[in-house]
A and B are shown apart, each in its own frame.
Chain A
């Protein structure tokens, strides 16, 4: 059962436990997938998943129903990922906060992302999915939000707290990066 945004805003303002339970059930797959895409770490994603919902409960009064609930939810999760990456000095994730300040990206060593590797390694589309691990988290993030979550450009901009032009630029570059990260044997797409 889905709940409309105004009902969500009203319920969150009252810290309605039934509503929170329902939202956790309803958005668990999308939120967890987003966190795993960002962090590449299942255990960390579980912690962040719980912490995200605690923040939703504590700051529910700030949700004004003008945007989709999932955009607000992803923005909270993203800020938590950035906070944690700063605390734990996870450089690859800290770049989420300011990716434009980076040097040109270098594909990370696949050994270092074994958790996500295990999650995405499946038979037929394995090559393409593994190539996701080779591109920076801030490209993975926009690709997920656009092509998996099917959020609009404005909604992605709200999640990332960046201008739409930046979102577009990351999407174009992300598609190119994904194409370039594919192994020679895999089919390559336009980007």
Chain B
């Protein structure tokens, strides 16, 4: 029997395990294995190899599932808590922004009155007005960043 036939048989054997072969190839392979002891031994050895692979004894530590279930539940509670406090933070930020927008004309008038009464330079008044708007937003951003930092630290293991 030629080497080409053995090579083809072994290629088909591997192919049948990995991606499957056509019915015609399967019939050819079966016939070849009936006639060829060398390839038959090869096929048996391959089956042994895969059986050994399936039989690798890896045991899960007895309490691993229970420990994991507890850890997942704890993390779920932490995440739910963080999510609630995040929602409160965003709601407060939105409310303060809304109040800021609604009160802007009044605040501007107040600034103008203070400027006239105390003769404050216009530039200082404008800067004060800008700060009145930006400082609460900067506090909110700092709070959000701090919260995210805490959350990412908690995720590390």
A residues within 8 Å of B by Cβ? 15, 17, 20-21, 24-25, 28-29, 32-33, 36-37, 42, 46-47, 49-51, 53-54, 56-58, 119-120, 122, 125, 128-129, 132, 143-144, 146-148, 153, 168, 171-172, 175, 178-179, 182, 187-191
Contacts and interface: CB of A to CB of B under 8 A. Distances in A.
B1 interface: no
A172 B18 contact: yes
A25 to B, nearest CB: 6
Contacts of B46: 175, 189-191
Nearest to B6: A190
A71 B81 CA distance: 30
Interface residues of B, number: 42
A32 B68 CA distance: 12
B147 interface: no
Contact of B58 (A36, A146, A168, A190): A36
B56 A57 contact: no
Given A28-B65, A168-B19, 11 more contacts: A15-B80, A50-B157, A57-B75, A120-B56, A125-B51, A132-B56, A175-B49, A189-B47, A190-B43, A190-B45, A191-B14
B60 A190 contact: no
Nearest to B75: A54
B157 A47 contact: yes
Contacts of B14: 172, 175, 190-191
The 4 closest A-B pairs by CB, nearest first: A189-B46, A128-B52, A125-B52, A189-B45
Interface string B45-70: 11111111111111111001101110
Contact of B69 (A24, A119, A120, A171): A24
A17 B68 CA distance: 12
B25 to A, nearest CB: 14
Contacts of A187: 44-45, 48-49
13 contacts: A15-B76, A17-B73, A20-B76, A28-B64, A120-B57, A125-B51, A143-B53, A147-B17, A187-B45, A187-B48, A189-B45, A189-B48, A190-B45
